[in-house]
Amino acid sequence: MKKSIITASLFLLMLPFLYGQQNFAGISFGTSIPIDDYAKAGDLSKDGYAGTGASIKFDAAYFPVSYLGIGGLFGFGSNHEIKDSLMQDIIDYVINNARSVIEIPDDADITYGSGFWNYINLFLGPHLSARPTQRLYLDLRALAGISIIKPPDHELIILFDDTEIYSRVSNSKMAFGYMAGAGLRFKINNIIALKLGMDYFRSNAGFNFEFDLFKGTAEEIEPIHSSYKIKTLEITAGLAYSF
């Protein structure tokens, strides 16, 4: 009896892997949801002022053994900027850190070039997949690699009387990034499968806010050395080609 129970238990444990795996390549689209400090506002040195955006992924996996494979991903993500909060915080910083007294009138000419957080990922890593039925695949993956991160323009120009104020941020950065997630593929025929996934993405980026103030003569304002932890939750849907 004991032997039968052990045999049955082993069979149940092996059941998800009894069906053979298939390599695949896929494309998916979805949403990118910022989390933690990346989604917050109020601190120019660490808050991302990021809102919900979009995500596009091209991914693939090759399985040299039945359930453990090598996965790869080329992806693009974008998060819109919380414009009004960021612009006001930049203005407040300039007013509070200028050596001279600044009062910006209501009729000042203010131009603010807002934009999006954009990031491109090129990742590689292990991909674990179980196939409990002939049509259904359950996927887990942990990928890491290069992230190219571009912040919003953050270009602010304020003109009034004899005063000119400029603000800008440094350009794109390349950084280490990683992604961990889960998903499923449901085959609709021998080649094509519907694909759903949810991934956690993280990377780090550092940029400098720089300021120029001209009030008759040039005046220095201390730059802000910012450090961001880019964190998003990405939920996507698409198609996978099995081969």
- 10 Å CB burial of residue 188 (0-12, 13-18, 19+) is exposed
Whether 8 maps to a domain, the answer reads no
Q: How many domains does the chain have?
A: 1
Coil vs helix vs strand at 95: helix
**CATH at residue 200:** 2.40.160.20
Whether 9 maps to a domain, the answer reads no
pLDDT per residue as tens digits for the range 76-89: 999 999 888 888 89
- 77 compared with 107, residue with greater pLDDT: 77
Q: What is the pLDDT of residue 11?
A: 42
Whole domain around residue 142: which residue ranges? 18-242
DSSP type of residue 11: H
Phi/psi at 199 (5° precision): -130, 145
Whether 4 maps to a domain, the answer reads no
Whether 6 maps to a domain, the answer reads no
Whether 68 maps to a domain, the answer reads yes
Whether 11 maps to a domain, the answer reads no
If you average pLDDT over every residue of the chain, what do you get?
88
pLDDT per residue as tens digits for the range 40-75: 999 999 999 999 999 999 999 999 988 899 999 999
* Global confidence as pTM: 0.84
Whether 103 maps to a domain, the answer reads yes
Whether 204 maps to a domain, the answer reads yes
Minimal CA–CA distance to 80: which of 43, 57, 110, 55?
A: 55
Average pLDDT over residues 201-214: 89
